[in-house]
Structure 1
């Protein structure tokens, strides 16, 4: 979302699901306004799936990652898009097929020949404008 490439998802995958907890995080007041607006009026290709039972062993992760890993394991999903390092490690340990944003862009570049340089340049500009907040807990 932050790199403005959500239109790639339906071009690469037949079905895109997000757990309701991820949608809720995207609607949170501290989420970027563009993401809030996007998920408030989601595209027709996006399905929000309710995840009622979360695996308690995932409590070291935030709610969205817990729900995403649980949903991917329950379905089972063909691929889990997850960027957070600990979440990736846990999903990988559970045998879930994972990919990050960069891997997704790599697939898009190979499959549908997207121009990567403008995306990378935008990503770098946006990253320079992000204020990092350290968690003191």
Structure 2
């Protein structure tokens, strides 16, 4: 089964800062990122090599549409393009920001975030549970926002 997903910026940045960007390629055959997400991500790159190591990333230009224009009123360009791309291609979406997640869900998109990816990686034995927990804890320590209830739920799933 070919697994393809669209990704917003936050998860890319968090994984790249921890030198774990290649994890996406272990979970998915292709990770599609809109141009604006790529530009946001590229601006914060720690190491250009990590981008080369993540050979599953594809950058695409998102066509203008009335839905995209409406999304741009509510969200930043990267989030808006990621949601538009996932909706137009009927693909699942990796998105972490609360407002963007809410809008994506209202559009009927299948969504996940960094925490969900870490649980998936542990369940598929790509990461040990302790490794997934370490990535999550490091992200939280460096400003990744996760409600205490969701943090506990994810931690319980990683045990």
Band of TM-score, shorter chain:
0.7 to 0.9
Residue number among 66, 83, 86 corresponding to 2:80 in the alignment: 66
Alpha carbons 1:27, 1:39 under 8 Å: kept: no
Question: Where do 1:1-137 residues align within 5 Å?
Answer: 1-3=13-15, 4=18, 5-28=20-43, 31=44, 33-34=45-46, 37=48, 41=52, 43-54=54-65, 55-58=68-71, 59-77=73-91, 79-114=92-127, 115-127=131-143
In structure 2, the gaps of 5 or more residues are 1-12, 145-159
**Normalization by structure 2: what TM-score?**
0.68
1:39-93 CA-partner distances (Å, limit 9, x unpaired): 865732110011131522212100000100010011111x200001000000000
Alpha carbons 1:72, 1:96 under 8 Å: kept: yes
The structure in which a higher percent of residues are helix is 2
* Higher RCO structure, 1 or 2 (CA under 8 Å, sep 6+): 2
Coordinate RMSD, CA, aligned: 2.3
Whole-angstrom CA distance in 1 between matches of 2:105 and 2:114: 16
Q: Pick closer, same or farther for the CA change 1:38–1:74 going to 2, 3 Å.
A: farther
Q: What is the deviation of 1:15?
A: 1.2
Q: What is the deviation of 1:125?
A: 3.7
SS in structure 2 at match of 1:34 = coil
**Normalization by structure 1: what TM-score?**
0.77
Q: What is the deviation of 1:25?
A: 1.2
